[in-house]
Amino acid sequence: MRRVFPLVVATVSVGAVAVGAAGCSSGGSGGARLSAADAGAAAAASPFYVDPGTQAAAWVKAHPKDARAARIRASIVARPGAKWFGNWSGDITRAVSGYVGAARSQGKTPVLVAYNITDRDCGGASRGGAGSPAAYRTWISKFAAAIGNRPAIVVIEPDAVAQLDCLPKNAQAGRIALLKYATQQFKGKATRTRAYLDGGNAHWVAAATMAGRLDAAGVKNVRGFSVNVSNFFTTAESAAYAKKVDTALSSKYHYARGFVIDTSRNGHGGTPGKWCNPAGAKLGAAPRAGGSGSDALLWVKVPGESDGPCGTAPKVQAGTFDPGLAMRLINGR
């Protein structure tokens, strides 16, 4: 039987992603018209931190007279989402600690993404990452230590487990070892962090195979796994897949884990193989604790940031905010 993992969020008293940061190639509608007041009230009610330094926020601030600005502000900028950290983040200790501290000062839980694995994205649109395994170990250790005993949610290395097959056989064991090291760092150094090792999406790796990979990569050390990061499949599809993965973990490895779902762009669902700025995508259910058997529904991908120069944004590089993409998601076109 699958255990229930209630999400614990910050209850305490009283940071922009660089271009290329969140291009990762891999419910209810969030695209309804919201007034600024409604958006502010929703943000205040959410347990999650709203990053004031997103590219979307910067665009809205720089274009106050643009007819699109009010809707982008209400539908995207005012919603809590994840902040991605990688080799563009500079001093990782300072970057992570500052962001977590800003969230703590508001009594909110920050959602962070560690996205710096060696050979990231297998040479795809979000290629890059740490220059060596040793460099990655140092980086991820500092990342976890910078959070310390403060509450946080961390998604660990989107696509890194699912993309294992793209690596040469002799490199796959090294990837797994790095991910396991990462989980150990969060277990030992970030004691109040709910960390989730990324588990791909519902139409990529078979659930039993994914369970085996997650186990090898150390998912037992952390809260659980994430699904649908930067993808478009419905919350129902994603939850069903996650539950199959969890069942496989329980039956073969004798432990269960929680999961989170990225709902940022899944309002209209997705089509297998069409992951790069597809037409017709729409904002999904707003971030919340719980939902569909998950620990949380999160906006891990920042809506409006490109998946790469493809689809409806053929000239927009991965991780770059584009108001046209944002409006497509708001309108579901």
Helices 207-216 and 235-248, axial angle in degrees (round to 10): 60
Tell me whether strands 288-289 and 296-298 are parallel, antiparallel or unpaired: antiparallel
Q: How far apart are CA 79 and CA 66, in angstroms?
A: 20
Q: Is 307 a catalytic residue?
A: yes
Can 66 be counted among the known catalytic residues? no
Of the candidates 159, 198, 246, 262, the residue annotated as catalytic is: 159
Greatest extent of the chain over all pairs of C-alpha atoms, in Å: 57
Question: From the candidates 119, 262, 307, 322, which is the catalytic residue?
Answer: 307
CA distance 309 to 323: 15
Q: What are the binding residues?
A: 84, 204, 231, 275, 301, 305
Alpha-carbon span 27 to 44, nearest angstrom: 21
Q: From the annotation, which residues make up the binding site for substrate?
A: 84, 204, 231, 275, 301, 305
Q: Which residues are part of the catalytic machinery?
A: 159, 307
